[in-house]
Structure 1
Amino acid sequence: MSTTQRNESMNAFFDGYLHAKTNLKEFVDQFGSALKKKIENENQADFHSFNFIILCISHLTLEKKFQEVYTNAKFREVQQEIMGMIYCHFHFQKQDGVITTYHVDNEIKIEDFIKEVVYTVYFNEAELEAKCVCGLFEMRGILCRHILVIFSARKVCGLLEKYILDRWRKEIKCRYTIIPSIYDEKDQRPETFRYKRLLKICYEIIANAASYDGYTEDMVSKLYTMNEVYHT
């Protein structure tokens, strides 16, 4: 279940596969089909992320940063929060050392009604980081519109690494897609075959090098050197 993103419901994951009166064997088969489809959809989405760029909708430096590092699917979620900034208005509340507390009024449309919800944002001037009581970052891994509007007002242009999660980085997803899984087709890509070949050799080297501390240190040093060469 860890392959699913948190904002997806269980029904969406099994849609078209799981039905009423399903026995255990059918459940296992249907779960496998649903998981395989999930992997296929993620790989297709990743392909678009590596080959197509979604244009920014604002001049915010932070949006440009997320455009560069996040997959297209996650970047669209970021853009939803950026668009939502126009419905947010903040007010200074208090200053306690380097921590400034703001109240952010967020106009939310519910059917034909407009509801105003107030969120509290704590901004650390020294570390240039913020925390919002809405908990969107903790739940979905993206900065909420309430934090973004404070960052914009305080001229925060840089983005801390803590706000960019590996789960949705383009380069991390690119490496992940070459790792073989039980759902790979027989005609695997050349990258996957090369990965498996190198992995087998690495296992043998590790087993030998781990037998002596001097070998281990020598191997670590050489691997770092090799990685620098191949990375460039």
Structure 2
Amino acid sequence: MTTSERSESINAFLDSSVNENTRLVEFVGQYDNTMASRCASKSHEDFMTLNTVPVMTFSNPIEEQFGKAYTRVILKMFQKDLGDVMSLHREEVSKEELKVVYLVGKYFETKRIRKK
């Protein structure tokens, strides 16, 4: 989680649970409940990562290696990125001695047309 994501998360929590009439005791109680919920969620995700076999989407060796090294959440993010990369099309435009130029684009699903 980046610093800005953490800040946005804290702001969302504060906006939903704190106003000018909130007493300090109420705020502390709400904060404790929120933190306990987040810890339980993280513990559950850690348990699931350690005790389940990750679902491989692409049957790709890189994906399998990634699945062994990282949590399920990170694996899902990687799978999305891998899918985006695998949907790219490349076409060689020119080739010189040590230089090859490619045109890279993404196929539309309905048509086999490149999007530049």
- TM bucket (normalised to shorter chain) is 0.5 to 0.7
Aligned pairs for 1:153-172 within 5 A: none
**Which residue number in structure 2 is paired with residue 10 of structure 1?**
9
1:107 Cα deviation from its structure 2 partner: 5.9
Task: Decide whether aligned partners of structure 1 residues 94 and 43 sit closer, same or farther in structure 2, where only a CA change above 3 A counts.
Answer: farther
Q: Is the contact made by 1:13 and 1:34 (CA closer than 8 Å) also made in structure 2?
A: no
Does the C-alpha gap of structure 1 residues 68 and 22 become closer, same or farther in structure 2, counting only changes over 3 Å? farther
Distance 1:108 1:73, change over 3 A: farther
Matched, 1:83 2:46: no
Aligned-partner Cα distance in 2 for 1:59–1:105: 23
How big is each residue's C-alpha offset from its partner over 1:146-195, in whole Å with a ceiling of 9 and x where there is no partner?
xxxxxxxxxxxxxxxxxxxxxxxxxxxxxxxxxxxxxxxxxxxxxxxxxx
Aligned-residue CA RMSD (Å): 3.9
- The one-letter amino acid paired with 1:34 is T
- The answer to whether 1:23 aligns with 2:18 is no
Letter matched to residue 69 of structure 1: A
Deviation at 1:45, TM superposition (A): 0.6
- 3-state SS in 1 of match to 2:105: strand
Q: TM-score, normalised by structure 1?
A: 0.34
| Equivalent-residue separation in structure 1 for 2:22 and 2:103 (angstroms) | 52
Contact 1:53–1:72 (Cα < 8 Å) also in 2: no
Distance 2:41 2:104 in 1: 37
Q: Which has the higher contact order (CA 8 A, sep 6+)?
A: 1
**Following TM superposition, by how much is the alpha carbon of 1:48 offset from its aligned partner in structure 2, in angstroms?**
0.3
Matched pairs, number: 104
- CA shift, 1:85, in A, is 3.2
User: 2:48: which partner in 1?
Assistant: 48
Counterpart position of 1:66: 66
Task: Measure, in 1, the Cα distance between the counterparts of 2:74 and 2:91.
Answer: 29
Cα distance between partner residues in 1 of 2:70 and 2:79: 12
Aligned sequence identity (%) = 16
Q: Given residue 75 of structure 1, which amino acid in structure 2 is its aligned partner?
A: L
1:200-215 alignment, distance < 5 Å: none
**1:90-122 superposed Cα distances (whole Å, 9 cap, x missing partner):** 456899xx9x8866424689xxxxxx4x5xxxx
Over residues 117-162 of structure 1, what are the superposed CA-to-partner deviations in whole Å (9 max), with x where a residue is unaligned?
Answer: x5xxxxxxxxxxxxxxxxxxxxxxxxxxxxxxxxxxxxxxxxxxxx
TM-score (norm 2): 0.61
Which string of whole-angstrom CA distances, capped at 9 and with x for unpartnered residues, describes residues 32-88 of structure 1?
A: 322221111001011000000122122322101111011112111111222323432
Which protein has the bigger helix share?
2
Gaps of 5+ in 2: 110-114
Cα separation, 1, equivalents of 2:76 and 2:68: 13
Mapping of residues 192-231 of structure 1, within 5 Å:
none
